Structure formats: structure tokens, C-alpha cells
């Protein structure tokens, strides 16, 4: 019986009814360690016997792909494929499938929540009160302020519609401009440079640059409004951590919130320990609805490709 490996932590821990479709189609479903992102060593043990893989965000290296002689397709339960060696997959004729837009609503809501949490210092006030301290940190209101969206795909468009209704203005940069998206006179597309220079809050929703270098560096940060806020629910590599920390210390950036890391769980460095940083453990798509959508699409993609 042909095998399919399941690795997303949300699925290895509790399973999912959609996976029954794989079994009904005649495949043996196997799982990596429940609730844990699989290591390269574990993938090297499990993947060689498989024809398909329903993958999470774990790194899938050239070495792993070369070991999987029978592998025909990897189906992601999300849109990001940065963790997969795409050149090796193409060379080995392994199809990479993505669950387009499956978790867009969840990511958009998290990014919006992180913005509100930062500008009103919600986590800090909660921690202070729990420690018996009556301390207050003055926040700002978002009405009339500008949100800069870097990457105005499905996630960016959901955020845009929401914050426009709260009185914000939105300026967006995208490589591929969707001219049909024009939700308000308070929304416009612009160059990346203009987005960086004019935004009070900047939220990243884009893939890594082709050269693999960070998008947010000391040079880019110097162009931001002093006291701007930065949100990253896209890719950890978009940020130069040392440069962001320096900007937080100087006050050039007032706050930073992230849901993505180079490794999971992350090593708690000086940036992540900074009082004006909010961390969430990669929960952008970790909602009932997002998991449901992503699993359904990932299974459908896999069955279609293997058929």
C-alpha cells in the first residue's frame, strides 16, 4: 500500500476527518511525532517509503528529497514554500502544491490584533496587573493614521477592508497590482519606498526577496517615521533582527510584533526579550476555520496530483 506522510503539528496531534479521504483512496497514512515539528533526521526515516506528503512549515532539504525515491508530491497546508528546497524538488520532478488562501482570514485577524495590542500596550498592562502593579502606558488611536501593507494579496486585502472601517488610511505595495481592488478613497497602491516612509504601522505579507536578503534593514528602518510600528506574520527572514533591535532601543521603531521565526521554538534573544516586542508562536493559521480549510485543500490537491 502506498504511503502518505502527515507532518503538520495541528494534524499529527489530533488527526482530522479530511485525512480519511486519503485512506479511502487506498493510501496508508503515517504520521511524524505528534505535536512536534519533524527534524531532518525524522524525515529521512519516514519519507523514503512515501509517494506523497502533507507538509507543514518544517524544513525539507535537498538531502531529504533525494532520499525519497518514490515521492511524487508535497502538499502544503498553507501557501508558504520557503522551507522546501524548490530547486531540488524541480530537479527530482516532485510536485509542490499549495493551499492558496486557506488561512488568509486567520493571518489577517492576527496581524490586526497584533497592531491593536501594540499601540495600546495590551500585553504589558495585563502582565503588570497580574504582578500586582498598577502601571499605565499611554497608547495611540488608529483613526486617521496610515497602515502600510507590504504584499497586498488575499491577507493584505482582508486587513485593508477591516482597518478602513476603523478609520485608518491604507497604502499598499505589491509586485502585482490588482487594479480591481479599490475599496475606498483612503486606499492606494504605491512604491515600497513610499509605503516605508509614510506609514505609521507597517505589516509584512510578502514572500522573501529573490536574493534571499532581509527586506527590513537598518537602511530601510532609517526611512520610516520615527515611532512607527512593525508587524511580521509572513517570513522571519524578512527582518534583520539586529537592526530592528537597534531601532527599538533608539526609539526609531516604537514596537515590533512577530508570529514567525527562523527556528521553532525560537531562541529568546535580546530582540525577543525587549519590552516593546510581542511574540506569538506561529498561530496565524491556527484557528478552527483555517485548519479546516487548509487541510481540505491540501488533501484535495494531493489526491488530484497522485491520481
Is the pLDDT higher at 13 or at 248? 248
> pLDDT tens for residues 139-174?
999 999 999 999 999 999 999 999 999 999 999 999
Q: What is the mean pLDDT of residues 210-231?
A: 96
CATH topology of domain 104-279: Rossmann fold (3.40.50)
Map grid coordinates 517615521 to a residue.
225
Cite the active site residues.
Answer: 235, 264, 282
**Residue ranges of the domains in the chain?**
3-102+287-306, 104-279
Adjacency order of strands within the sheet including 146-150: 187-189, 169-173, 146-150, 201-204, 228-232, 253-258, 277-279
For residue 31, the cross-strand partners are: 6
Shared fold status for 3-102+287-306 and 104-279: yes
CATH topology of domain 3-102+287-306: Rossmann fold (3.40.50)
What was the pLDDT predicted at 264? 87
> pLDDT tens for residues 71-116?
999 999 988 888 899 999 999 999 999 998 899 999 999 999 999 9
> pLDDT tens for residues 28-68?
999 999 999 999 999 999 999 999 999 999 999 999 999 99
What was the pLDDT predicted at 79? 85
* Burial group, residue 208, by CB count within 10 angstroms (0-12, 13-18, 19+): middle
Amino acid at each position: 500500500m502506498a504511503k502518505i506522510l502527515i507532518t503538520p503539528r495541528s494534524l499529527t496531534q489530533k488527526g482530522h476527518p479530511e485525512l480519511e479521504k486519503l485512506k479511502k483512496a487506498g493510501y496508508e497514512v503515517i504520521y511524524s511525532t505528534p505535536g512536534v515539528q519533524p527534524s531532518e533526521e525524522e524525515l529521512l526515516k519516514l519519507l523514503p517509503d512515501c509517494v506523497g506528503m502533507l507538509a507543514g512549515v518544517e524544513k525539507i532539504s535537498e538531502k531529504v528529497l533525494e532520499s525519497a525515491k518514490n515521492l511524487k508530491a508535497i502538499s502544503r497546508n498553507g501557501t508558504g514554500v520557503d522551507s522546501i528546497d524548490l530547486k531540488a524538488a524541480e530537479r527530482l520532478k516532485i510536485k509542490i502544491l499549495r493551499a492558496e488562501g486557506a488561512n488568509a482570514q486567520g493571518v489577517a485577524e492576527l496581524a490586526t490584533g497584533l497592531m491593536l495590542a501594540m499601540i495600546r500596550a495590551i500585553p504589558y498592562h495585563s502582565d503588570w496587573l497580574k504582578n500586582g502593579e498598577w502601571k499605565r502606558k499611554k497608547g495611540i488611536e488608529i483613526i486617521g493614521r496610515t497602515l502600510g501593507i507590504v504584499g497586498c494579496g488575499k491577507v493584505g486585502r482582508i486587513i485593508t477592508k477591516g482597518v478602513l472601517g476603523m478609520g485608518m488610511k491604507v497604502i499598499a505595495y505589491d509586485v502585482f497590482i490588482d487594479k480591481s481592488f479599490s475599496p475606498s478613497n483612503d486606499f492606494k497602491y504605491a512604491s515600497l519606498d513610499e509605503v516605508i516612509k509614510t506609514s505609521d504601522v507597517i505589516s509584512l505579507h510578502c514572500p522573501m526577496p529573490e536574493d534571499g536578503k532581509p527586506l527590513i534593514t537598518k537602511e530601510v528602518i532609517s526611512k520610516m517615521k520615527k515611532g512607527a510600528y512593525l508587524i511580521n506574520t509572513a517570513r522571519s527572514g524578512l527582518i534583520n533582527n539586529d537592526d530592528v533591535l537597534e531601532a527599538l532601543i533608539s526609539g526609531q521603531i516604537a514596537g515590533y510584533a512577530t508570529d514567525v521565526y527562523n527556528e521553532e521554538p525560537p531562541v529568546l534573544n535580546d530582540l525577543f526579550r525587549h519590552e516593546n516586542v510581542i511574540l506569538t508562536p506561529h498561530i496565524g493559521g491556527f484557528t478552527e476555520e483555517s485548519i479546516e480549510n487548509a487541510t481540505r485543500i491540501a488533501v484535495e490537491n494531493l489526491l488530484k496530483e497522485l491520481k
